[in-house]
Structure 1
Amino acid sequence: RAELGSDPLPANIQVNYGPCPRIERQVIEEDDDSVTFTDSWGILRRDLKHGVSMSQFIEFPVKNRADWECFKAERLDPGHPDRLAGNWLAQAQQWTAQGRVLQLGNFPDVGIFGGLRWLLGDEECLLAFYTDPELVHEIMDHLTSVYLAVFAGVVEVLHIDVIHLWEDMCGRQGPLISPQHWDQFMGPNYRRIQDFARQHDIPVTSVDTDGDPDRIIPNMMDAGVNFLWPFEVAAGCDVREMRERYPTLGMMGGIDKRALAVGPEAIDRELERIAPVIDTGRYIPALDHLIPDDVSWDNYRYYADALRRRIGA
């Protein structure tokens, strides 16, 4: 960032939204290529040591209601003193003096669908909407209570600009949760968060959806969400079309990361494609997910310089 002169990201207030006391990382098995370990949510996972790849998720901490009650009692006390421990306030005051945007919420600890998924696992999470909807309600409601308790402690001493939720609830075929289930399970908790944001003059409620969120964007906006990202092109997202359908929605992303692996001409075409959306405002042009490892530094420099010229920076 220093070499490219790019703007700083929103500054995440360094408090504890997740399991508390924290679950210590424990290595179970390791070889030259991978490491298997339990993470800060108690998930057993395997990561490659080299290259870029998603984790292989092996086992999740909640398999039934008894597991949930135990995890909630031991790790999800909204008022646990460790949640607001540390030097986060002094750090945030430095960021404020630097003119940084202050954000509550982060990956991987603040998400209503995201938190359910961390506890149950992908398949069991999706099945639970049908097999045990009461448990889904309980988990989502309680996670929201944890987040709001931490948020409340922070806003007593700081003015916050953004509440961000990590959900990763969409893929190439659209949302993993139907609009109806979103309204039934997630909508009430998003409205709790929006009520909090309104009471404390927090202007932006941001959600990281991944994939193609189009079918649930109206539901999210109705519940107070006003900023979404990353609008992955490989999932069929086109920020030009999104802007036509949702003229007031704040957006970030929408630039096909794959173009950077091809070269300058592909990068120029991609920036030309999204240029009309830049002119509409409420849009931060950015890559639509993590930078692939086949992107050269020269191509990334070219992209950064071309985008800077495009936005007049």
Structure 2
Amino acid sequence: MLTPKENFLETVRGGKPDRYSNQFEALALQWCSPQDVRHPDTECGKAPAQNAWGVWFEWPEGTPGPFPLQDPEHLLIRDLEHWRNYLKMPETEFPEEEWAWIVEEADKVDRSRQLVTAVFWPGLFENSHHMMNMENCMVNLYEEPEIIHEIIDMLTEYELKMARNIIDHIHPEALYRHDDWGSQRSTFMSNNMFREFYLEPTKKIYKFWKDNGVEVVIHHSDSYGETLIPEMIEMGIDVWQGALSTNNLPKIAEEYKGKLTVMGGVNNGIVDRADWTPEKVSAEVNRVLDWVDSPYLIPNCTFGGDISSFDGVYQAVTDAISAYNEKKYRWR
């Protein structure tokens, strides 16, 4: 029987997995820089928290995750023309003692069974609209393209500096990076606009990680996004995590095997609810796996990590996939 890491890599490479790779079992996620300690995420129902860029986030109870506060009092970039007055690059160099526990956690991972996986969020698009709100960001792509390019350049420079430090300290084998590019039914922008603003900078970021030892790039976008698959492949993405079942997952799994692997299909909006039960979760997992019917899917909640909004849901999905593997896996 293949280890979780081996089975995951067989799936991603279009090879011969001996079962469905089960959610994040092959990925040892590392929340992995001193920035995460200096600027911790807000907790559900707790007071708002400010990230390293100065964006405020809150996580109201009953919602699936933290959201940026963008009222006039909290909005970061209030005058785009003078954006440099509001936006300063966070520190990227930290004393070695701040890295010590991060290195220690990475060293605990059995690399024969799991890939040490650096986690980085938010990505370029998310960071952009966090700073100026979604509506302003989308309008500014049309009306102020030069300024948006300048902002993206700064965000890219920051990501590359952070990547260098993370790589030097924990030597990750995989990267798990967040940047949501769509809603349930559509991408947020056309392919042409996406290519104009976000393709080349993101491609540069992923190339840097891969040039420095990262074997697999996993990109989170819990959305519709199949029309962006050519761009994803060009960027160097190996796994699209968070793919909703509003995408044509059976077609994607087979057409792009070995080029881009879908990780998702189990929509959190369907299973991750206050009224969830193991039976409901199992029924949805079985429906998705029967529908896709391909060894080149990695079944997974579409949430951006190995957790769920409601306690127990993530584990219930894991258990349902395990049960499916035992009873119905067709590619042994």
TM-score range relative to shorter protein: 0.7 to 0.9
Give the deviation of 1:128 after TM superposition: 1.2
The answer on 1:39 being equivalent to 2:57 is no
The match for 1:246 is 256
- CA drift of 1:241 comes to 2.9
From 294, 301, 306, the equivalent of 2:320 is 306
| Cα pair distance change 1:51/1:72, threshold 3 Å | closer
* Counterpart code for 1:246: Y
Aligned partner of 2:117 in structure 1 is 103
> 2: distance between equivalents of 1:180 and 1:104?
30
**Superposition pairs for residues 170-209 of structure 1, below 5 Å?**
170-209=182-221
Runs of 5+ in structure 2 lacking a partner? 1-23, 328-332
Q: Which residue among 148, 160, 172 is the counterpart of 1:148?
A: 160
Cα deviations across residues 180-226 of structure 1 (Å, max 9, x unaligned)? 11111111112212321332232212211121011212112112112
Matched letter for residue 185 of structure 1:
F
Which residue number corresponds to residue 10 of structure 1? Answer: 28
* Equivalences for residues 18-37 of structure 1 within 5 A: 22=38, 37=48
Preserved CA contact (<8 Å) 2:174 2:217: yes
Q: Does 1:85 align with 2:98?
A: yes
The answer to whether structure 1 residue 168 and structure 2 residue 183 are counterparts is: no
Aligned-partner residue type, residue 52 of structure 1: T
CA distance in 1, matches of 2:77, 2:112: 42
Larger mean CA deviation between 187-196 and 52-61 belongs to 52-61
Contact 1:129–1:136 at 8 Å: present in 2 too?
Answer: yes
Contiguous gaps of at least 5 residues in structure 1: 1-5, 27-32
Please give the alpha-carbon distance, in whole angstroms, between the structure 1 residues aligned to 2:45 and 2:166: 38
Q: Aligned in 2, Cα 1:308/1:63: closer, same or farther, shift over 3 Å? A: same
Q: Does 1:52 align with 2:67?
A: no
Q: Is the 8 A contact 2:25 2:114 kept in 1?
A: no
Distance 2:213 2:28 in 1: 17
Normalising by structure 1, report the TM-score: 0.76
d(CA) in 1 for partners of 2:320, 2:193: 42
Higher relative contact order (CA 8 A, sep 6+): 2
Any conservation in 2 of the 1:174–1:214 contact (CA below 8 Å)?
no
Q: Deviations over 1:26-73 (max 9, x none)?
A: 9xxxxxx9666352243345543x433554733321123465323444
For these two proteins, the number of residue pairs brought into alignment is 291
Matches within 5 A, 1:271-286: 271-275=286-290, 277=292, 279-281=294-296, 283-286=297-300
1:80 Cα offset (Å): 3.5
1:215-274: CA deviations, max 9, x gaps?
Answer: 2121121121121121223xx224213224433312211024425737637733641442
Correspondent of 1:69 among 80, 84, 87? 84
Structure 1 CA distance for aligned equivalents of residues 96 and 156 of structure 2: 14
The percent of aligned pairs where both chains have the same amino acid is: 16
**Aligned equivalents of 1:187, 1:83: Cα separation in 2:** 34
CA shift, 1:292, in A, is: 5.6
Query: TM-score of the superposition, structure 2-length normalised?
Result: 0.72
